[in-house]
Amino acid sequence: MSMAPARDIAVLGATGSIGTSALDVIARHPGRLKVGLLAAGSNVEALLDLCRRHRPRHAVIADASAFPALRDGLREAGLETTAHPGDALDALVAGDACDTVVAAIVGAAGLPSTLAAARAGKRLLLANKESLVLAGALLMAAAREGGATIVPIDSEHNAIFQCLPDRHAHAGLRRLVLTASGGPFRGRSRASLADVTPAQAIAHPKWSMGPKISVDSATLMNKGLEVIEAHHLFAVPGERIDVLVHPQSLVHSLVEFVDGSTLAQLGLPDMRTALAVGLAWPERIASGVAGLDLLAEGGRLEFEPPDLEAFPCLRLAFDALAAGGTAPAVLNAANEIAVSAFLQGQVGFLSIPRLIEDAMTALPPAPARTLDALAEADAAARRHATAALARFA
Ligand code: NAD
Ligand code: MG
């Protein structure tokens, strides 16, 4: 039995796919793990339901129009949870309401709270990959200066984290190999993807996830964002990060060392494993995920190269990483606009990479040493891509 005091956990993006999985793991360990703060975007009913179940000290709703419903709902439920509007989030994350932060807001909207957790030296379970793509160097520096421990909550990076436990191993690192499921359209030609629908794009064969990352998986932009994410998390240049399609999604990534060893982490595709690693590291706790039975899973692990012809988003992400400066911020912002337009039926699937490439061409990389420079590039890319939607409809 562990003698450590219970961890106070803030779950940001509590009503989402990662948030729900995190709360599932936390609820399995009362006494060891408790919920200090829950934050969500706009779904008050779902947030109230979570507050009734997990009884946090604080609840935050980002959508200002939903704040009265949260405050009144908490009072009517007789809970001691304090309701807060979205602008209270960063201070709460940095304060004593939590020592551990699950950063699982989707998109660049997650950057301020993620940075606040890093600066305040929290244990940061980082699912919000867009914040690393947008401001990876600044975020990693903030974590170093603040004394934060980052545990990546992306299956690939969590796998690498588990395979690369210390700096000594890091010194002998040769390359990282990120595995990719290939998404719902693996094996299809570019031309055949012109008419795919949002419903087809979000029907992921292996992982159950929120709509934005599901579309990113279908375009392979998710893997592209993950290459940039890996570059920042593990200080490895893009030239030493490879992508391998692995349709079974059981090998979550591989790390190759100079001595010829390759280490990998395997498991069923369920984010609760990565979350349990983050919540208890360096200890191990039950996550609710069954062990891996390779025979029951078909007895076969297959690998193939990614098809950059059919899925140009992966190439665009490698290009943005190589270009550096504001290029990844532009890539990420244009992608957020393009994916949202695709989900709303405004543009077709093939317009997603076209919109991103168009924004990257129109907004060439500039130095990105400050958060302001990055925020400006992010905003300019959003404006550019939004105005371009009509051209690519
Ligand atoms: P989701 O759409 O299911 O959930 C998003 C959550 O963010 C919701 O709770 C929503 O209310 C909240 N939110 C949105 N805007 C907000 C705002 N402005 N302020 C506060 N909260 C806000 O998404 P998801 O699939 O859980 O993904 C979350 C993040 O984790 C993404 O960055 C994604 O790339 C990353 N991720 C997810 C998975 C997965 O398996 N789902 C795996 C790896 C990484
Ligand atoms: Mg992933």
Residues 278-306: what's their mean pLDDT?
97
The Cα 4–Cα 15 span in angstroms is 28
The Cα 266–Cα 254 span in angstroms is 10
Please name which of 42, 47, 54, 98 lies closest in space to residue 80, comparing C-alpha atoms. 54
Paired sense of beta strands 7-12 and 33-40, if any: parallel
**Residue 133 near ligand 1, beta carbon < 6 Å:** no
**Residue 109 near ligand 1, beta carbon < 6 Å:** yes
**Residue 60 alpha carbon to ligand 1 centre in Å:** 15
What spatial distance separates the first Cα and last Cα of the chain, rounded to whole Å?
59
Classified as helix, coil or strand, 266 is strand
| 45 touches 127 (CB < 8 A) | no
pLDDT at 83 over 60: yes
Provide CB contacts within 8 A for 22, sequence distance 6+: 9, 11, 14, 102, 104, 125, 275, 279
Q: Which ligand is nearest to the CA of 214?
A: 1
pLDDT at 1 over 60: no
Strand partners, 35: 9
User: How confident is the model over 122-134, as pLDDT tens digits?
Assistant: 999 999 999 999 9
**Residue 48 near ligand 1, beta carbon < 6 Å:** no
What does the DSSP assignment read for 178-229?
EEE---TTTT--SGGGTT--HHHHT--SS----HHHHHHHHHTHHHHHHHHH
Is 41 labelled as part of a ligand binding site?
yes
**Residue 128 near ligand 1, beta carbon < 6 Å:** yes
Is 335 labelled as part of a ligand binding site?
no
Q: How far is CA 363 from CA 107, 319, 332, in A?
A: 20, 14, 13
Q: Which CATH number fits domain 7-152: 3.90.79.10, 1.20.120.140, 3.30.470.20, 3.40.50.720?
A: 3.40.50.720
pLDDT at 2 over 60: no
| 70 touches 174 (CB < 8 A) | no
Measured from the CA of 14, which atom of ligand 1 is nearest?
Answer: 9
**Residue 17 near ligand 1, beta carbon < 6 Å:** yes
Q: How far is CA 86 from CA 20, 92, 221, in A?
A: 20, 10, 29
Please name which of 107, 98, 100, 99 lies closest in space to residue 41, comparing C-alpha atoms. 107
Average pLDDT, the chain: 96
Is 130 labelled as part of a ligand binding site?
yes
Q: Which ligand is nearest to the CA of 252?
A: 2
Query: In the chain, helix, strand, coil percent, each to 5?
Result: 50, 15, 35
Query: Quick one: 343 exposed, middle or buried, by C-beta within 10 A (0-12, 13-18, 19+)?
Result: middle
Is 158 labelled as part of a ligand binding site?
no
Measured from the CA of 208, which atom of ligand 1 is nearest?
Answer: 40
The phi, psi pair for 345, rounded to 5°, reads 75, 15
Q: Which CATH number fits domain 324-393: 3.40.50.720, 1.10.3720.10, 3.30.1490.20, 1.10.1740.10?
A: 1.10.1740.10
**Residue 112 near ligand 1, beta carbon < 6 Å:** no
Measured from the CA of 62, which atom of ligand 1 is nearest?
Answer: 19
**Residue 116 alpha carbon to ligand 1 centre in Å:** 17
User: How confident is the model over 164-221, as pLDDT tens digits?
Assistant: 977 667 889 999 999 999 999 999 999 999 999 999 999 988 889 999 999 999 999 9
Q: How far is CA 3 from CA 32, 35, 194, 218, in A?
A: 9, 18, 57, 44
Question: Which pTM was predicted?
Answer: 0.97
Structure-token match 């919540």, residue found: 279
Q: Which ligand is nearest to the CA of 90?
A: 1
Q: Which ligand is nearest to the CA of 215?
A: 1
**Residue 335 near ligand 1, beta carbon < 6 Å:** no
| 221 touches 333 (CB < 8 A) | no
Residue 255 corresponds to which amino acid?
V
Measured from the CA of 61, which atom of ligand 1 is nearest?
Answer: 20
Indicate which residue's Cα is closest to atom 42 of ligand 1.
154
User: How confident is the model over 321-375, as pLDDT tens digits?
Assistant: 999 999 999 999 999 999 999 999 999 999 999 999 999 999 999 999 999 999 9
**Residue 210 near ligand 1, beta carbon < 6 Å:** yes
User: How confident is the model over 231-253, as pLDDT tens digits?
Assistant: 999 999 999 999 999 999 999 99
Residue 96 corresponds to which amino acid?
D
Domain range summary for the chain, segments of one domain joined by +:
7-152, 155-311, 324-393
Is 214 labelled as part of a ligand binding site?
no
Measured from the CA of 18, which atom of ligand 1 is nearest?
Answer: 26
Measured from the CA of 105, which atom of ligand 1 is nearest?
Answer: 7
Residues 39-60: what's their mean pLDDT?
98
**Residue 207 near ligand 1, beta carbon < 6 Å:** yes
User: What share of the chain has pLDDT > 90, as a percent?
Assistant: 95
User: What's the pLDDT at 3?
Assistant: 60
**Residue 111 near ligand 1, beta carbon < 6 Å:** no
Tokens in use for 343?
A: 């989900």
Length of the chain: 393
User: What's the pLDDT at 168?
Assistant: 67
- ipTM of the complex, rounded to two decimals: 0.99
The Cα 113–Cα 95 span in angstroms is 12
| 117 touches 103 (CB < 8 A) | yes
Q: Which ligand is nearest to the CA of 224?
A: 2
Provide CB contacts within 8 A for 191, sequence distance 6+: none
User: What share of the chain has pLDDT > 70, as a percent?
Assistant: 98
Query: Quick one: 182 exposed, middle or buried, by C-beta within 10 A (0-12, 13-18, 19+)?
Result: buried
